[in-house]
């Protein structure tokens, strides 16, 4: 036995779930993903999403509607006569007509321990807030934003050095396995649903460019969490004058350092920076247009010496 599944996803985070459901023997009758987007240096090339590319390799039909406002698109969805829709980072809010367009509804793989971090950027927000754990939840979708009842939870530890990129890669594999397990239980009519708690709701707003600048007036722990929560993308940064010109430096990794001083001041020649409380050591950096470098290699080409004060900024 297997389920007839419509899969809905877009980025690389979604791909392992699609692949694992296929490998588990389910019939993926269609894949929905975001339309190809402009790419390349001039933005003239249209690039298919990672899910689009994966689906084509698997020989699965791909649909890329801009939305589901047209009745024709809604009817096409219903005509697949699917048992269930599986949604992982699709990127569109689904109307009720789609949520109710399969026999068993839509199930979403969400990268947080709901109701904490509903919304667009749960991985980054969990690290930036200093959370010690997160996870993947499979929930049945309803009209609200990530408000549906929970079906399956898998917790994941967030270590103090883990970046958003590392957590992303771990969660996408945990989520793939969790969804396969959930669909097995659903097929066996053994997938109980639990309403989300009413307390503890937090929203993971999309990362805004204005909040990516490092504010060294904050505590070292907050600065460290800020850096790793935005690594590798979009990247936390500071600006410093080099050879008489202001230059933006992205910080991709850091550690809690030793020492104290005025916020933003370099305490040694190895990029330990004083914060509002404590100090943070910058361990991996990248100039605009350059490649990521460990601190030692970065300092060979960019002289930032003890006593230099970096702009405090506003994160």
Q: What is the pLDDT of residues 78-130, one digit of tens each?
A: 999 999 999 999 999 999 999 999 999 999 999 999 999 999 999 999 999 99
Q: Which of 256, 259, 278 is nearest to 268 (CA)?
A: 259
Q: How far is CA 64 from CA 28, 76, 99, in A?
A: 16, 12, 17
- Average pLDDT over every residue of 298-306: 89
pLDDT surpassing 70 at residue 18: yes
Q: Which of 237, 238, 234, 247 is nearest to 208 (CA)?
A: 234
- Average pLDDT over every residue of 172-184: 98
Could you give the percent of the chain with pLDDT greater than 70? 97
pLDDT surpassing 90 at residue 194: yes
What is the distance between the alpha carbons of residues 209 and 227, in angstroms, rounded to a whole number? 14
Q: What is the pLDDT of residues 32-64, one digit of tens each?
A: 999 998 876 666 688 999 999 999 999 999 999
**Would the pTM count as exceeding 0.85?**
yes
β-bridge partners, 28: 5
Count of beta carbons in the 10 Å neighbourhood of residue 262: 12
More confident residue, 303 or 7: 7
- Average pLDDT over every residue of 245-273: 96
Q: What is the pLDDT of residue 303?
A: 83
Q: What is the pLDDT of residue 43?
A: 63
Dig out the tokens for 134 from the structure.
């997160």
Q: What is the DSSP letter of 129?
A: T
β-bridge partners, 45: 39
Helix (H, G, I), strand (E, B) or coil at 206: coil
Q: What is the pLDDT of residue 315?
A: 45
Q: What is the pLDDT of residue 42?
A: 64
Burial 286-309 (b: 16+ CB within 10 A, else e): bbeeeebbebeebbeebebeeeee
Dig out the tokens for 83 from the structure.
């048992």
- Average pLDDT over every residue of 133-152: 96
User: Any residues with CB less than 8 A from the CB of 49 and at least 6 apart, and which?
Assistant: 10, 11, 33, 34, 36, 37
Helix (H, G, I), strand (E, B) or coil at 218: coil
Could you give the percent of the chain with pLDDT greater than 90? 90
The mean pLDDT of the chain is 95
pLDDT surpassing 90 at residue 66: yes
CA-based diameter of the chain, in Å?
69
Q: What is the pLDDT of residue 243?
A: 79
Give me the half-sphere count of Cα atoms (radius 13 Å) on the Cβ side of residue 221: 4
Q: How far is CA 147 from CA 95, 100, 144, 214, 252, in A?
A: 14, 16, 5, 32, 33
């Amino acid at each position: 036995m297997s389920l007839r599944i419509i899969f809905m996803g877009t980025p690389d985070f979604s791909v392992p779930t699609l692949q694992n459901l296929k490998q588990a023997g389910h019939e993926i009758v269609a894949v929905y993903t975001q339309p190809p987007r402009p790419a390349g240096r001039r933005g003239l090339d249209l690039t298919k999403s990672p899910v689009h590319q994966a689906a084509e390799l698997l020989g699965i039909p791909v649909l890329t509607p801009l939305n589901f406002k047209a009745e024709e698109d809604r009817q096409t969805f219903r005509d697949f006569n699917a048992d269930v829709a599986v949604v992982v980072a699709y990127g569109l809010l689904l109307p009720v007509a789609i949520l109710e367009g399969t026999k068993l509804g839509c199930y979403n793989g969400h990268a947080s321990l709901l109701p904490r971090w509903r919304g667009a950027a749960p991985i980054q927000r969990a690290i930036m807030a200093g959370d010690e754990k997160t996870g993947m939840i499979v929930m049945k979708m309803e009209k609200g934003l990530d408000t549906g009842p929970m079906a399956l939870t898998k917790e994941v530890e967030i270590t103090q050095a883990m970046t958003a990129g590392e957590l992303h890669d771990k969660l996408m594999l945990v989520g793939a396995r969790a969804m396969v397990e959930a669909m097995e239980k659903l097929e066996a009519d053994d997938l109980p649903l639990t309403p989300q708690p009413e307390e503890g709701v937090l929203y993971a707003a999309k990362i805004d460019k204005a909040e990516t600048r490092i504010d060294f007036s904050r505590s070292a722990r907050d600065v460290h969490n800020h850096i790793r929560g935005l690594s590798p993308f979009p990247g936390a940064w500071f600006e410093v004058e080099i050879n008489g010109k202001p230059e933006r430096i992205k910080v991709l990794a850091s550690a809690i350092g030793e020492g104290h001083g005025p916020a933003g001041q370099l305490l040694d020649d190895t990029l330990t920076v004083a914060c509002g409380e404590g100090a943070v050591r910058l361990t991996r950096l990248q100039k605009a247009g350059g490649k990521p470098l460990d601190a030692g290699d970065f300092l060979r080409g960019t002289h930032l010496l003890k006593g230099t004060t970096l702009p405090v900024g506003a994160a």
